[in-house]
């Protein structure tokens, strides 16, 4: 489902989480806010979720990952990200996420890239993240950790 560059405002609609066969959700260049709907975490066929300006022609654009930076998403980082154990990248930078870094991220055993910079995260960085053997990039700068 491609809805980029439409100046959509407000939260991601809950109905997107009911599209059980959805593989790609591209919402780049919109004005999205609020929390990420919990039912998005049940879309286990989802391969790429983007709400950022990412070049579609890039070979990296279709890696299994979540690119949600540069919006105004709020609340805690949803623990369901850990349910995607084959995810390669999670980019949640430049939002308004708060609370702790979820320990469930350790379940993303194939994670190579984790960017949580420029949010309002608090607490300690989970020591369990050191078990992510493929992790090559981790950024949690500009938070309250």
pLDDT of amino acid 63: 53
Q: Is the pLDDT of residue 136 over 60?
A: yes
pLDDT tens per residue across span 85-116: 778 889 899 899 999 999 999 999 989 999 99
Structure tokens belonging to residue 3: 């809805």
Superfamily of domain 1-144: Ribonuclease Inhibitor (3.80.10.10)
pLDDT of amino acid 123: 96
% residues pLDDT > 70 (the chain):
88
pLDDT tens per residue across span 34-78: 888 888 888 877 776 766 543 333 333 335 678 888 888 899 999
What span, in angstroms and rounded, lies between the C-alpha atoms of 92 and 112? Answer: 14
Please give the model's pTM, rounded to 2 decimal places: 0.78
- Domain spans of the chain? 1-144
What span, in angstroms and rounded, lies between the C-alpha atoms of 44 and 35? Answer: 19
């Amino acid at each position: 489902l491609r809805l980029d560059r439409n100046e959509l405002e407000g939260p991601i609609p809950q109905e997107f989480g009911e599209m059980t066969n959805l593989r790609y959700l591209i919402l780049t260049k919109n004005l999205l806010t609020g929390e990420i709907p919990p039912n998005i975490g049940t879309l286990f066929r989802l391969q790429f979720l983007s709400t950022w300006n990412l070049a579609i022609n890039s070979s990296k654009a279709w890696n299994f990952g979540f690119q949600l930076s540069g919006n105004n998403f709020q609340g805690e980082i949803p623990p369901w990200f850990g349910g995607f154990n084959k995810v390669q990248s999670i980019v949640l930078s430049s939002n308004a996420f708060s609370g702790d870094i979820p320990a469930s991220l350790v379940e993303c055993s194939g994670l190579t890239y984790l960017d949580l910079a420029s949010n309002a995260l608090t607490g300690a960085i989970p020591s369990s993240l050191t078990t992510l053997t493929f992790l090559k990039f981790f950024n949690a700068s500009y938070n309250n950790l």
